[in-house]
């Protein structure tokens, strides 16, 4: 049984080259935060309570870092390398907080392609409206690779 529609797979490792870039812009809206908080049942007051956040060094509610990670990993799943990809490793550093209603520009760039291991290393950088880096790091992804299995018995040539 298939859940959802059948999708075209992303690119194979042989079709990916060092230097490829993907830029995307995300505006963090209330609906996105509420969906995340509802899905994870994360009740951290720093994420949603303005009165609490105003008493902290952040001064206002921040976007959960794992939500930003989700935006990045979603870009890998959708575009680079695309559907069927598997993230093997991620190292992300959150340089500064992202606040509600912020717009973040994400840049993903392929920095290494290992054809034998079927792995692409992608550098990640996210900048806020002021041009300051708020997230940076790397992701190692395994592009989709299907195995071709023999489904019928071999026949002798006559």
Residue 78: inside a domain, yes or no? yes
The domain tally of the chain equals 1
Residue 36, in any domain of the structure: yes
Cβ-contact 25, 103 below 8 angstroms: yes
**Cβ proximity of 66 and 78 under 8 Å:** no
Give the CATH number for residue 71: 3.10.129.10
How much is the pTM?
A: 0.82
Instruction: Tell me the Ramachandran region of residue 63: left when phi exceeds 0, alpha when psi lies from -120 to 50, beta otherwise.
Output: beta
**pLDDT, tens only, 75-121:** 999 999 999 999 999 999 999 999 999 999 999 999 999 999 999 99
For residue range 41-74, list pLDDT tens digits in order. 888 899 988 999 999 999 999 999 999 999 999 9
Residue 115: half-sphere exposure toward Cβ, Cα within 13 Å? 5
Bridge partners for 93 per DSSP: 136
68 within some domain: yes
| 4 part of a folded domain | no
Instruction: Note whether residue 7 is domain-resident.
Output: no
Any domain includes 44:
yes
Domain that holds residue 93: 13-155
- For residue 131, is it within any domain? yes
């Amino acid at each position: 049984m298939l859940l959802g529609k059948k999708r075209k797979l992303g690119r194979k490792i042989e079709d990916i080259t060092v230097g490829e870039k993907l830029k995307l812009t995300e505006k963090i809206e209330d609906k996105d935060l509420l969906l995340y908080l509802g899905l994870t049942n994360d009740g951290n007051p720093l994420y949603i309570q303005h009165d609490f956040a105003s008493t902290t060094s952040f001064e206002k509610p921040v976007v959960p870092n794992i939500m930003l990670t989700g935006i990045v990993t979603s870009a890998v799943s959708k575009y680079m390398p695309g559907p069927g990809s598997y993230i093997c490793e991620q190292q992300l550093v959150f340089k500064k907080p992202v606040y509600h209603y912020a717009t973040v520009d994400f840049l993903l760039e392929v920095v290494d392609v290992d054809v034998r291991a079927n792995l692409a290393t992608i550098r990640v950088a996210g900048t806020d409206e002021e041009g300051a880096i708020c997230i940076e790091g790397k992701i190692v992804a395994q592009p989709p690779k299907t195995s071709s299995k023999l489904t019928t018995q071999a026949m002798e040539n006559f």
